[in-house]
Amino acid sequence: MNTRNFLSIFILTCIISCSNKTAVQDGVVSRIADYNIFEYEVTGLVEDSSEQWKRYDSLLAGVTEEYLVKLCDHRSPVIRAYAFSGLIRKKSSHIFRVLREHIHDTASFTMVTGCFSNAWSVTDFYLQNVGYYYKDSSSYRIDPEQRAFLDSLMLFGNEITLRRENYNAPLLHSRAYMLEHIPHTPSYYKRLREIVTAGVIEALPALAKFHNEDDVPLIKKVYEIDGSIGNSFVFKAITNFPHPDLFPIVEQEIENSLLHDDYSGTSPYPYYQALVQYKTQRTRELLVKAISRTEREDQQRLVRNIRYLLKENPDKIFEGL
């Protein structure tokens, strides 16, 4: 056999081998997609070994990073989730690029963790796996510059306005988290006001940090329209921007809480957090009234919380309390 024939046979053998390997990998991908649930290594109350995880593990052992990158565009959200997990495990250099390209991927899939089943979006899952949420346990971590870039993409993306069907809250956990932790950046003001006006009340505290008097009517409107859910963000906004025209809201809620013994059924702590931003005699009077009530355990707890707030927000007007 001459050299040319040998090389031809060798190349043909390699092609056939690679084709067979790809066909096997594609078959595993199809079985993962058909099962259509994301599972970790063990599942259920008795911690059974997950067959889905075994399929993923076997796939990951024999694929290249390029193949996983391709799978991140697969029609199945479950495959996209497993493929990105694979890139994380392989410590791929493609991770941030893939994340950036899929930051708007809102497709959902079912994840089973132990005996719990939850719906996840692809974008939320990807962000969890790169350490976007400060308290997760990801092995990969985005840097501050990448985080700021992702914040901007999410803030200006249309997904920020998506809401849950049966509850007035953002559809995507990542967007709610971003609005809660987004840094104060002047270029964000217009967009924050735009989305608050569109009903994204979670952006109200971030908007309030700009101390723009034109936003006072907007804070009042959320207070009047959005009820107890809106109150959470209204009082965070007032804490960030204690405008005199907003004081009556704080005063009213604290008076109602004292009169009706926490009439709303929620913790009054946010009210006092906003109250201590106002260094006035009326504030002192309300604080004296609150700390004089110590009959019950919950009242005693509130007094301790108020004293903590006074320690964190010292002022001459509060001396002796």
DSSP SS3 for 305: helix
Contacting residues for 265 by C-beta, under 8 A, at least 6 apart = none
The answer to whether 257 and 264 have CB atoms below 8 angstroms apart is: yes
What does 140-159 look like in DSSP terms, one character per residue? ----HHHHHHHHHHHHHSGG
Amino acid letter at 212? Answer: N
Contacting residues for 24 by C-beta, under 8 A, at least 6 apart = 62
- pLDDT value at position 266? 67
- pLDDT value at position 294? 76
**Distances from the Cα of 46 to the Cα of 39, 50, 54, 55, 117, angstroms:** 15, 11, 17, 20, 15
Tokens describing residue 290:
């609150």
- What are the extents of the domains in the chain? 25-140
- pLDDT value at position 48? 78
Amino acid letter at 84? Answer: F
DSSP SS3 for 243: coil
Ranges of beta strands (E only) in 69-162 are 108-114, 116-121
- pLDDT value at position 20? 47
Question: Which residues partner with 111 through β-bridges?
Answer: 38, 118
- pLDDT value at position 7? 40
pLDDT in tens, the chain (321 residues): 555 544 444 343 444 344 445 666 788 889 999 999 999 887 766 567 889 999 999 998 889 999 999 999 999 999 999 999 999 999 999 999 999 999 999 999 999 987 788 999 999 999 999 999 876 656 788 999 999 999 999 999 999 999 998 888 899 999 999 999 999 999 999 999 999 999 999 999 999 999 999 999 999 999 998 777 788 899 999 999 999 999 999 999 999 988 876 544 568 899 999 999 999 999 999 999 999 887 788 888 889 999 999 999 999 999 998
- pLDDT value at position 189? 98
Neighbours of 29 (CB within 10 A): 21
- pLDDT value at position 81? 97
Give the pairing type, strands 48-49 and 37-43: antiparallel
- pLDDT value at position 18? 44
Amino acid letter at 314? Answer: P
Angstrom distance (rounded) from CA 174 to CA 171? 9
pTM of the full structure: 0.86
